[in-house]
């Protein structure tokens, strides 16, 4: 299992998509349940996996912001007005400026 994990990490770091098919075949033949589940998951959207290996772009920032918004919405659903939700969503404007 360790060897397969290290090989997969090497594929990701080298961005060599050509080695991915061989790795998937070897991992499927290994007979390790957790690896088999991982391979099945990768095979569900293999084009996306190939693109993730090959290209440097990521939508991680977008997904993180969406996750944050959904978390706030769930936490406040039915408990607060839209004004409170808006106040939590928008950044504070000049809250650290003091007037003398």
Checking if the pLDDT of 6 tops 90, the result is yes
Concatenated DSSP letters of 33-72: HHHHHHHHHHHHTHHHHHHHHH-----HHHHHHHHHHHHH
Q: Give the pLDDT mean for 76-97.
A: 64
Q: Give the pLDDT mean for 88-94.
A: 63
The whole-number pLDDT of residue 35 equals 94
The whole-number pLDDT of residue 30 equals 93
> What size, in residues, is the chain?
100
The whole-number pLDDT of residue 78 equals 61
Q: How far is CA 28 from CA 34, 39, 66, 98, in A?
A: 10, 7, 34, 63
Checking if the pLDDT of 94 tops 60, the result is no
Per-residue pLDDT of 24-47, as tens digits, reads 999 999 989 999 999 999 999 999
> Within a 10 A sphere around the Cβ of 7, how many other Cβ atoms?
15
Per-residue pLDDT of 48-82, as tens digits, reads 999 989 988 878 888 888 888 888 777 767 666 67
Q: Which long-range contacts (CB under 8 A, 24 or more apart) does 50-56 make?
A: 50/17, 50/20, 53/11, 53/12, 53/15, 53/16, 53/17, 53/20, 54/15, 54/17
């Amino acid at each position: 299992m360790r060897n397969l994990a290290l090989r997969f990490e090497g594929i990701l770091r080298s961005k060599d998509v050509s080695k991915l098919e061989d790795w998937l075949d070897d991992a499927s033949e290994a007979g390790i349940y957790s690896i088999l589940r991982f391979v099945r998951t990768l095979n569900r959207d293999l084009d996306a996996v190939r693109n993730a290996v090959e290209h440097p772009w990521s939508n991680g920032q977008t997904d993180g912001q969406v996750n944050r918004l959904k978390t706030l919405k769930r936490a406040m659903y039915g408990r607060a007005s839209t004004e409170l939700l808006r106040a939590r969503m928008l950044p504070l404007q000049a809250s650290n400026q003091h007037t003398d």
